[in-house]
């Protein structure tokens, strides 16, 4: 056959010049503009930083296990919590979520790539560089007391602690510069996501037929535009203060420390919604498939997501209840924060209703999604507690808050990320992850998560503030801290198991095929992994679940397109 | 399988979607607007709060000429896009040149204003809160003007060399959107700094 | 409380590490903390109820609707239900009602705490946060002290609250004594006010709750609620200038001729520094180093020698005194009762 000769030639080439092939592969990845490769690079990059930041957390937990411990010095500890927070938010959370979005969105909307492939690559590389710059601070920066170490001003870098006079070294500068750069990358990716979803949908895919994952990424990207700007602006102001002598946050010249807080949290609160919305997006795809039912209330889900996006722009000062804004502002932000619970609750109820009447398959992916449901419920409820300003006057800046937001970040977001891994890894690599290892990963992680973060609420109630490198023995906090620290060990083991699973399965996992889960969105219509061009022929769709229509031609979704319908009218048997 | 034959197209309508360039530029404008809003908020917040030093009333004159130039440049850039749409490439070059010229006058006027502020009135970014917020806000805007002028000059270069054709008109329009944004920001800055703040 | 003497005390420490709760927000001892406690019970009740209902339904659903098909062989897809207007409306309206109720209850506590009417004889204390210690001034009484706050006990019939007017000399801090009230931040160039009214004579503990730098963890708070008589006696004592004991004249000379006077004040002497804590009556305090260690000669000497022995990163530099001077100045400070 005519095609065999080239194959033999390639093999000969490989045998003779393995080094050249390796370089070619590297060159291919470094210069790629393919959204799938870029997505994978984002994800791989985030996983590396997840391990690093997790290690930082482990060190902190060892230090805090007993009172007046001397495992690390105060300077090192303060650097650890700053780096842990900054890394997790900007170099784990954002990249991993942008990575999944990058990979999946074009596939889900029937496109061949993102709208601006070169911008896509640029955004990745600038963010990657920013992460390296941040960690270079361990080598290059000097901390609060001139001790050669990294950032130590907290991930939120309050003024005036960051002023030259209180932070004479360069730790603040590394924080500012690396975040400025990654902010540029985030805006670039968000721009790409919006342009792709709006301008590159395949024929027939009206916005009302868009799968929920791209819908939510649309909201998340809109939030990115509006939220990153304030951070960038505040950081420019901070750098001007530090280097040019301006007075934005210089209280000696009439500047305001509170203004920094406003600007930071105008960024900071939407940022956490930027992080959590993709978790909702994953849940919206995964829960229906493993319940064998369409998502309940698609229009409400879209409306709730958009609503959450908008309201999240108006709640920022609930991080400032103790700053002395006055009862009027405290009341307003209490109300706004409580209101956001309504669309959030709607989402939880819609997921419940999707499960109701379904045929639930407890794959590892689904188990993580179930964990997400319980834990996100709890996280939302502790959030309601904190939204009541007087309650926050006690619990704000305490370990109760740390427990709350880790419940969201780990219990909800990370759990859904794990779920997304088990669900889409087959599509990305062509192999299934081991379900056996997956179940071990799940149970170990659940035990560790609850040991750490359930009990973490207690020291907060007992008066333990956050960001302290040690604590007094007479406060009664020790037993709780011991338990919390023990949970960290379980989580570490579970995560290592997960990494091992990914590596092992890549070589030995069962072949996945294009559609191992019998799912309904377009990415499952192409091979696993997809060809570089995604679709040989751009598809045309007629409903929200094009593959359901294909698999159930006698009863396609396209017959039921007009929004929520009375249940009796839609009762039907599957094929 | 890598093909999805999902039935014939059920609609007779042609499937059209907005242009990527427009959507992308709109997103960029939104993000940049968010940055500007914060600087404007800082400016407004600090009005009247300077502990020392010259006040806006004492040192600021209404920049009428430069404002007229900059705002007219929006008209000229719009005219250049229209000209390109009608394949009138020479006219397009002319209007582009006018835009760059007007933008250049704006920058020169700003430089002149700053020279006076610094050397005659002793107002720098370090002097007081007014200096801090004034130079940062107006400076941020001026930076965006510089970037816009560089891009417009590039467009002018291509146009003069005859390389810009009618089918590039959408790209030129996207660029003009950026320029309109810069002008829009100036309207806000003008009102806040030179009208409200004095 | 805690001490470094004897094994029985070690047991006490070990036990207290497990069961003591001097900063438990659910053991209020003053009005602000009590009204927050009541609100928190309401909030906890509502959220617990929501949790039980929703988690209960979720658990039920997961069990009742689990797939009973044998692995890999699905037979029928279940009924596909896309939504229901009535159901979705109900679970929008009910949460809104709950939010409204919660919001009203919360607003009431916000206003009763922040806009509480101030009795005429309330005590005024000015609190200034420093890296890493607390300065307390009683402007109407002419008292200046540090780290240990004395206030009179208050009771319902004759309320005698203490109003704290707070600001910072450097970075942000936060004053948190959980059993007495919620926390309030100390911010440079901004004045915040809060009030406390301990109902029982006791020692209330707290600490700084806003990250302020290296030694944030050791910026501890001790609030002594005294009976009105004890408080009056304490005030009178604090108003006196420093004790002048001739037996420690040498130590006094060491103090006055070293850099000490540039940061510390001792009323009645030339020492007039404002950067560090007022030491006029330092000998009468139970603790030093922002309440992080007991005030005894051994600790005092070690602290003066090099504050980093207890608080690495504290802004007081090591004094580089030789052993003899160190003993003398320690003895002097110990007499400043």
Do the beta carbons of residue A245 and residue B126 sit within 8 Å? Answer: yes
Min Cα separation A170/chain B (Å) = 21
Residues paired with C225 in a beta bridge: C151, C202
Do the beta carbons of residue C102 and residue A315 sit within 8 Å? Answer: no
Q: For the segment A30-65, what is each residue's pLDDT rounded down to a tens digit?
A: 999 999 999 999 999 999 999 999 999 999 999 999
What count of residues does chain C have? 337
Using a pLDDT cut of 90, give the percent of chain A over it.
Answer: 85
The C-alpha angle with vertex A64 and arms to A61 and A67, in degrees rounded to 5, equals 160
Q: For the segment A170-182, what is each residue's pLDDT rounded down to a tens digit?
A: 888 889 999 999 9
Computed over every residue of chain A, the mean pLDDT equals: 91
Q: Which residues contact A157 (CB under 8 A, 6 or more apart)?
A: A172, A175, A176, A238, A264
Do the beta carbons of residue B46 and residue B129 sit within 8 Å? Answer: yes
Strand order in the sheet with C184-186: C148-152, C220-226, C202-208, C173-176, C184-186
Indicate the pLDDT class of residue A304, thresholds 50, 70 and 90: very high
A322 near B CB under 8 A: no
pLDDT recorded at residue B5: 42
More confident residue, A287 or C78: A287
- The burial of A377, by beta-carbon neighbours within 10 Å (0-12 exposed, 13-18 middle, 19 or more buried), is given as buried
Do the beta carbons of residue C154 and residue C141 sit within 8 Å? Answer: no
Do the beta carbons of residue B105 and residue B66 sit within 8 Å? Answer: yes
Q: What is the mean pLDDT of residues A93-119?
A: 97
pLDDT over 60 at A562, yes or no: no
Residue B100 lies in a domain: yes
Determine the residue of chain C that is closest to A552 in CA distance.
C77
**Long-range contact pairs involving B146-151 (C-beta distance under 8 Å, separation at least 24):** B146/B107, B148/B103, B148/B178, B148/B179, B148/B182, B149/B100, B149/B103, B149/B104, B149/B107, B151/B175, B151/B178
| Alpha carbons A113 and A102: distance in angstroms, whole number | 9
Q: Which residues contact C238 (CB under 8 A, 6 or more apart)?
A: C141, C143, C145, C280, C281
pLDDT over 90 at C74, yes or no: no
Neighbours of chain C (3+ CB pairs under 8 A): A
| Alpha carbons A298 and A347: distance in angstroms, whole number | 10
pLDDT over 70 at C72, yes or no: no
For residue C98, whether the previous peptide bond is cis, meaning omega lies within 30 degrees of 0, is no
For residue A529, whether the previous peptide bond is cis, meaning omega lies within 30 degrees of 0, is yes
Of all helices (H) and strands (E), which one includes residue A299? helix A298-312
pLDDT over 70 at A7, yes or no: no
Min Cα separation A158/chain B (Å) = 17
Residue B170 lies in a domain: yes
Residue A521's CB is within 10 A of a number of other CB atoms, namely 23
pLDDT recorded at residue A71: 95
Answer left, alpha or beta for residue A27, where phi above 0 means left and psi between -120 and 50 means alpha.
alpha
pLDDT recorded at residue A515: 95
pLDDT recorded at residue C110: 93
Neighbours of chain B (3+ CB pairs under 8 A): A
| Token pair in block for residue A401 | 């808050």
pLDDT recorded at residue C70: 65
Q: For the segment B68-115, what is each residue's pLDDT rounded down to a tens digit?
A: 999 999 999 999 999 999 999 999 999 999 999 999 999 999 999 999
Q: What is the mean pLDDT of residues A218-244?
A: 96
Mean pLDDT, consecutive 10-residue segments, chain B of 198 residues? 43 78 96 97 94 90 94 96 93 95 96 95 94 96 97 95 91 96 96 91
| Token pair in block for residue A488 | 């960290």
| Alpha carbons A559 and A540: distance in angstroms, whole number | 16
Q: Which residues contact A171 (CB under 8 A, 6 or more apart)?
A: A79, A82, A137, A141, A142, A143, A144, A149, A150, A151, A152, A153
CB pairs under 8 A between A and B: 156
pLDDT recorded at residue A170: 83
More confident residue, A317 or A146: A317
Min Cα separation A496/chain C (Å) = 28
Residue C323's CB is within 10 A of a number of other CB atoms, namely 9
Residue B103: give its domain's CATH number: 1.20.120.80
A233 near B CB under 8 A: yes
Q: For the segment C118-140, what is each residue's pLDDT rounded down to a tens digit?
A: 888 899 999 999 999 999 999 99
Which residue in A191, A233, A254 is closest to B50 by CB distance?
A254
pLDDT recorded at residue A125: 97
Q: Which residues contact A49 (CB under 8 A, 6 or more apart)?
A: A87, A88, A91, A92, A95, A131
Using a pLDDT cut of 70, give the percent of chain A over it.
Answer: 93
Determine the residue of chain A that is closest to C116 in CA distance.
A327
* Chain C residues lying within 8 Å of A256, measured CB to CB: 189-190
Q: What is the mean pLDDT of residues A374-378?
A: 97
pLDDT over 80 at C18, yes or no: no
Q: Which of B3, C73, B52, B27 is nearest to A522 (CA)?
A: B3
Number of domains into which chain B is organized? 1
| Alpha carbons B55 and B47: distance in angstroms, whole number | 9
| Alpha carbons C202 and A63: distance in angstroms, whole number | 32
| Alpha carbons C43 and A359: distance in angstroms, whole number | 36
CB-CB under 8 Å, A397 with C209: yes
Min Cα separation A528/chain B (Å) = 9
- Residues 233-292 of chain A whose Cβ lies under 8 A from any Cβ of chain C: 251-252, 254-258, 291-292
- Axis-axis angle for helices A415-429, A257-291 (nearest 10): 60
Computed over every residue of chain B, the mean pLDDT equals: 91
pLDDT recorded at residue C155: 85
- Axis-axis angle for helices A364-387, A341-355 (nearest 10): 150
Q: What is the mean pLDDT of residues A98-102?
A: 97
Do the beta carbons of residue C102 and residue C43 sit within 8 Å? Answer: yes
Residue B26 lies in a domain: no
pLDDT over 50 at C331, yes or no: yes
Handedness of CA A540, A541, A545, A548 (dihedral sign): negative
| 3-class secondary-structure state, position B162 | coil
More confident residue, C200 or A139: C200
Q: Testing the interface with A: which of B1, B2, B12 to mutate, by most A Cβ within 10 A?
A: B2
Which residue in A192, A195, A225 is closest to B34 by CB distance?
A225
Q: What is the mean pLDDT of residues A495-513?
A: 95
| Token pair in block for residue A277 | 């919305």
- The burial of A365, by beta-carbon neighbours within 10 Å (0-12 exposed, 13-18 middle, 19 or more buried), is given as buried
- Axis-axis angle for helices A257-291, A341-355 (nearest 10): 10
Residue B22 lies in a domain: no
pLDDT recorded at residue C117: 87
Answer left, alpha or beta for residue B123, where phi above 0 means left and psi between -120 and 50 means alpha.
beta
| 3-class secondary-structure state, position A563 | coil
Touch test C–B: 3 Cβ pairs or more under 8 Å? no
- The 3 state secondary structure assigned to chain C is CCCCCCHHHHHHHHHHHHHCCCCCCCCCCCHHHHHHHHHHHHHHHHHHHHHHHHHHHHHHHHHHCECCCCCCCCCCCCCCCCCCHHHHHHHHHHHHHHHHHHHHHHHHHHHHHHCCCCCCCCEEEEEEEECCEEEEEECCCCEEEECEEEEECCCCCCCCCEEEEEEECCCCEEEECCCCCCCEEECECCCEEEEECCCCCEEEEEEECCCCCCCHHHCEEEEEEECHHHHHHHHHHHHCCCCCCHHHHHHHHHHHCCCHHHHCECECECCECCCCCCCCCHHHCCEECCCCEECCHHHHHHHHHCHHHCCCCCCCCCCCCCHHHHHHHHHHHHHCC
| Token pair in block for residue C208 | 């700084």
pLDDT recorded at residue C17: 60
Determine the residue of chain B that is closest to A531 in CA distance.
B2
For the domain covering C23-64+81-198+206-220, report its CATH number. 2.60.40.420
pLDDT recorded at residue A19: 72
Min Cα separation C141/chain A (Å) = 26
- Axis-axis angle for helices A35-64, A478-508 (nearest 10): 150
| Token pair in block for residue A32 | 């790629």
Residue B183 lies in a domain: yes
- Note down the domain range covering B171: 62-196
Query: Where exactly are the structural domains of chain C?
Result: 23-64+81-198+206-220, 246-335
Half-sphere exposure of A38 (CA within 13 A, CB side): 29
Tell me the pairing of strands C202-208 and C287-288: unpaired
CB-CB under 8 Å, C88 with A564: yes
For residue C132, whether the previous peptide bond is cis, meaning omega lies within 30 degrees of 0, is yes
CB-CB under 8 Å, B20 with A194: no
Diameter of chain A by CA atoms?
82
Is the entire prediction scored with pTM above 0.80? Answer: yes
| Alpha carbons C238 and C242: distance in angstroms, whole number | 9
| Token pair in block for residue A21 | 């092939």
Q: What is the mean pLDDT of residues A438-450?
A: 97
| Alpha carbons B21 and B172: distance in angstroms, whole number | 10
Handedness of CA A380, A385, A388, A392 (dihedral sign): negative
pLDDT recorded at residue C79: 87
A311 near B CB under 8 A: no
pLDDT over 80 at A9, yes or no: no
pLDDT recorded at residue C11: 65
The torsion of the CA quartet A28, A29, A34, A38, rounded to 10 degrees, works out to 180
pLDDT recorded at residue A574: 38
| Alpha carbons C192 and C315: distance in angstroms, whole number | 25
| Alpha carbons C238 and C229: distance in angstroms, whole number | 14
CB-CB under 8 Å, B20 with A116: yes
Q: For the segment A191-200, what is each residue's pLDDT rounded down to a tens digit?
A: 999 999 999 9
Do the beta carbons of residue A330 and residue A324 sit within 8 Å? Answer: no
Class of domain C246-335: mainly beta
Q: For the segment C101-120, what is each residue's pLDDT rounded down to a tens digit?
A: 999 999 999 999 888 888 88
Q: Mean pLDDT check: name the lowest of C5-9, C63-67, C207-211.
A: C5-9
The whole-angstrom distance between residue A204's C-alpha and the CA centroid of its chain comes to: 31
Q: First and final CA of chain C: distance in angstroms?
A: 21
pLDDT recorded at residue C9: 56
């Amino acid at each position: 056959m005519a095609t065999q000769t080239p194959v033999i030639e390639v093999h000969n080439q490989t045998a003779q010049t393995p080094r050249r092939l390796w370089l070619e592969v590297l060159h291919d990845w470094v210069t790629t503009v393919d959204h799938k490769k870029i997505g994978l690079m984002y994800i791989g990059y985030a996983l590396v930083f997840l391990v690093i930041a997790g290690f930082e957390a482990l060190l902190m937990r060892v230090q805090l296990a007993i009172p007046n411990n001397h495992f690390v010095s105060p300077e090192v500890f303060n650097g650890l919590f700053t780096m842990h927070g900054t890394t997790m938010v900007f170099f784990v959370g954002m990249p991993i979520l942008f990575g999944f979005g990058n990979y999946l969105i074009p596939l889900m909307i029937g496109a061949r790539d993102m709208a601006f492939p070169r911008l896509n690559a640029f955004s990745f590389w600038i963010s990657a560089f920013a992460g390296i710059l941040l960690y270079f601070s361990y080598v290059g920066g000097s901390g609060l007391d001139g001790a050669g170490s990294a950032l130590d001003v907290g991930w939120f870098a309050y003024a005036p602690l960051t002023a030259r006079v209180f932070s004479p070294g360069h730790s603040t500068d590394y924080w500012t510069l690396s975040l400025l750069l990654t902010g540029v990358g985030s805006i670039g990716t968000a721009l790409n996501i919006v342009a792709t979803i709006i301008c590159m949908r395949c024929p027939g895919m009206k916005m009302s037929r868009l799968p929920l994952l791209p819908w939510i990424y649309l909201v998340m990207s809109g939030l990115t535009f509006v939220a990153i700007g304030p951070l960038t602006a505040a950081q420019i102001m901070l750098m001007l203060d530090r280097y040019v002598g301006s007075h934005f946050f210089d209280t000696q010249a009439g500047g305001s420390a509170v203004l920094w807080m406003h600007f930071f949290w105008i960024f900071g609160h939407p940022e956490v919604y930027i992080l959590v919305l993709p978790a909702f997006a994953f849940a919206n795809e995964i829960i229906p498939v493993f319940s064998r039912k369409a998502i309940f209330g698609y229009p409400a889900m879209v409306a709730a997501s958009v609503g959450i996006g908008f309201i999240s722009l108006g709640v920022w000062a609930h991080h400032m209840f103790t700053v002395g804004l006055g009862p009027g502002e405290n009341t307003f932000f209490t109300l706004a924060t409580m209101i956001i619970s309504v669309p959030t609750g709607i989402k939880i109820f819609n997921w419940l209703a999707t499960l109701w009447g379904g045929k639930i398959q407890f794959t590892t992916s689904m188990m993580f999604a179930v964990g997400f449901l319980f834990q996100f419920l709890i996280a939302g409820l502790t959030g309601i507690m904190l939204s009541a300003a007087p309650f926050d006057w006690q619990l704000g800046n305490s370990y109760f808050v740390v427990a709350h937001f880790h419940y969201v970040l780990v219990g909800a977001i990370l759990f859904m990320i794990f779920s997304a891994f088990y669900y889409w890894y087959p599509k990305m690599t062509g192999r299934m992850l081991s379900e056996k290892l997956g179940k071990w990963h799940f149970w170990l992680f659940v035990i560790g998560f609850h040991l750490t973060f359930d009990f973490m609420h207690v020291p907060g109630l007992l008066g333990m503030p956050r960001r302290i490198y040690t604590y007094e023995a007479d406060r009664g906090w020790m037993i709780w801290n011991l338990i919390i620290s023990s949970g960290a060990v379980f989580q570490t083991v579970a995560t290592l198991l997960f990494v091992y699973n990914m590596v092992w399965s890549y070589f030995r996992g069962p072949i996945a095929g294009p559609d191992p889960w019998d799912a309904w969105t377009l990415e499952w219509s192409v091979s696993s992994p997809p060809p570089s061009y995604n679709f040989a022929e751009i598809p045309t769709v007629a409903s929200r679940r094009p593959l359901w229509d294909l698999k159930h031609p006698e009863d396609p979704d396209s017959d039921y397109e007009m929004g929520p319908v009375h249940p009796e009218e839609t009762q039907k048997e599957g094929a | 399988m890598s093909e999805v034959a999902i039935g014939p197209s059920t609609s007779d309508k042609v499937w059209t979607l907005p242009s990527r360039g427009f959507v992308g530029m709109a997103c960029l404008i939104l993000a940049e607007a968010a940055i500007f809003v914060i600087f404007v908020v800082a400016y407004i917040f600090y009005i009247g709060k300077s502990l020392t030093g010259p006040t806006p009333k004492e040192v600021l004159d209404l920049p009428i000429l430069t404002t007229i130039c900059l705002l007219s440049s929006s008209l000229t850039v719009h005219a250049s896009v229209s000209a390109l749409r009608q394949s009138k490439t020479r006219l397009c070059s002319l209007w582009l040149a006018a835009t760059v010229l007007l933008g250049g006058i704006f920058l020169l006027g700003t430089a002149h204003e700053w020279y006076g502020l610094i050397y005659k009135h002793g107002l720098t970014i370090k002097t007081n809160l007014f200096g801090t917020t004034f130079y940062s806000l107006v400076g941020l805007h001026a930076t965006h003007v510089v970037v816009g002028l560089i891009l417009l000059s590039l467009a002018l270069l291509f146009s003069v060399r005859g390389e810009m054709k009618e089918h590039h008109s959408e790209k030129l329009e996207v660029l003009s959107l950026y320029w309109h944004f810069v002008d829009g920001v100036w309207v806000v800055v003008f009102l806040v700094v030179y009208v409200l703040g004095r | 409380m805690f001490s470094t003497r004897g094994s029985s005390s070690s047991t006490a420490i070990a036990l207290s590490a497990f069961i003591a709760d001097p900063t438990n927000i659910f053991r209020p001892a003053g009005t602000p903390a009590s009204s927050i406690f009541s609100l928190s019970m309401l909030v906890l009740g509502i959220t617990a109820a929501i949790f039980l209902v929703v988690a209960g339904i979720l658990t039920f659903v997961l069990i009742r609707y689990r797939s009973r098909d044998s692995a890999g062989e699905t037979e029928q897809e279940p009924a596909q239900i896309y939504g229901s207007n009535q159901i979705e409306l109900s679970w929008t309206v009910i949460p809104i009602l709950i939010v409204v109720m919660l919001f009203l209850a919360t607003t009431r506590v916000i206003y009763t705490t922040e806009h509480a009417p101030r009795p005429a004889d309330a005590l005024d204390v000015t609190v200034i946060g420093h890296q890493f210690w607390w300065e307390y001034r009683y402007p109407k009484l002419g008292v200046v002290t540090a780290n240990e706050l004395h206030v009179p006990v208050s009771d319902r019939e004759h309320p005698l609250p203490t109003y704290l007017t707070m600001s910072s000399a450097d970075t942000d801090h936060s004053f948190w004594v959980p059993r007495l009230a919620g926390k309030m931040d100390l911010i440079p160039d901004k004045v915040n006010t809060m009030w406390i009214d301990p109902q029982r004579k006791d020692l209330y503990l707290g600490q700084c709750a806003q990250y302020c730098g290296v030694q944030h963890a050791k910026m501890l708070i001790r609030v002594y609620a005294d009976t009105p008589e004890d408080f009056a006696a304490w005030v009178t004592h604090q108003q006196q200038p420093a004790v002048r004991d001739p037996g420690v004249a040498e130590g006094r000379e060491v103090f006055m001729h070293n850099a000490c006077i540039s940061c510390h004040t001792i009323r009645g002497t030339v020492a007039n520094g404002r950067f560090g804590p007022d030491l006029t009556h330092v000998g009468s305090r139970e603790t030093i180093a922002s309440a992080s260690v007991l005030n005894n000669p051994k600790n005092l000497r070690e602290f003066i020698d090099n504050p980093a022995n207890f608080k690495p990163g504290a802004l007081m530099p090591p004094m580089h005194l030789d052993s003899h001077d160190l003993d003398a100045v320690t003895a002097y400070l110990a007499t400043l009762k």
